[in-house]
Amino acid sequence: MTDPLSDLIALLRPRTVFAKAISGAGRWTVRYGDFGNPGFCTVIEGCCRLAVDGADTVTIEAGDFVFLPATPGFTMSGFEAAEPVFVDPQAAAGLTGEVRHGWQEGDADVRMLGGYFVFESPDAALLVSQLPALIHLRGAERLTTLVRLVREEAGEERPGCDLILSRLVEVLIVEALRSVEGDEAPPGLLRGLGDPRLAAAIRQIHGAPARPWTVAALAKEAALSRSAFFDRFARTVGVPPMEYLQGWRMNLAKDLLRRRAGKLDEIASQVGYGSASAFSTAFARHVGLPPKRYAMTA
């Protein structure tokens, strides 16, 4: 069965994984600037406060998992007021030893494992826009195990390390995202997959993007009337069905062009266009560049 969420993660191509231990004790507050790359954290012991820009302050505690698909600025602190210490996320990104906030000696009040990775796709911002800005899960034992494995693998430069890390992160992302399918997710792919009727149509789009789909044909897959399907899809996914179909076809086309995975007419056929000229016109209108020029600059 086609899995649209796996398709999305595959196009994002998560790579270049870093992970480290983080702890805090006493009175401490740190303020991280905008980072942009996806970040994650799991709490091993204790608890602290987390205030992500644009979201309510939350208490994160042992067993919690936090995932930020495009890490904005955030503040992390203990429970006693302290003057914030600014941390440049770019400068701190490459640090591999344990990061200690607050008192440098004695037992920590909170211990965490945190890290980040990079989406290699140049279209990551567009794809990430379909994901929640903040995912906070409690009692996430499976995700805690995955983060531990990421930390262990990132700390040892063994053969095959990059491949294992990229696969672990792919699993971590899927595990985190599928936990928020449905009404908890903002309009987008995840929310659409949480609706069984719409999920049936979305799987057809991803499984056979070259088919000459119409709204009526997709509505039939969803077992809904044409008008009910159109309204439900647009409200839940955030765009009308044919716009989603075209967007997915163009994402596939850009990936194929970047990888030089066929001649222009072959790529056109794979994404549902009967000729290279029709595909070129649609691609240029959608992307702003003709396919050949896009392939040269990608």
The structure's pTM equals 0.79
CA distance 255 to 295: 9
- Give how far Cα 195 sits from Cα of 198, 236, 271, Å: 5, 8, 25
pLDDT score at 112: 96
The domains of the chain, with CATH numbers, are 4-178 (2.60.120.280), 189-297 (1.10.10.60)
Contact 84, 156 (CB under 8 A): no
- The CA distance from 85 to 106, in Å, is 20
pLDDT in tens, 167-205: 999 999 888 887 876 666 778 888 898 899 999 999 999
pLDDT in tens, 79-89: 998 999 999 98
Q: Is 107's pLDDT higher than 90?
A: yes
Distance of CA 70 to the CA centre of its chain: 8
Give the pLDDT confidence score for residue 276 in this predicted structure. 95
Report the Cα–Cα distance between both ends of the chain, in Å, rounded: 31
DSSP state of 156: S
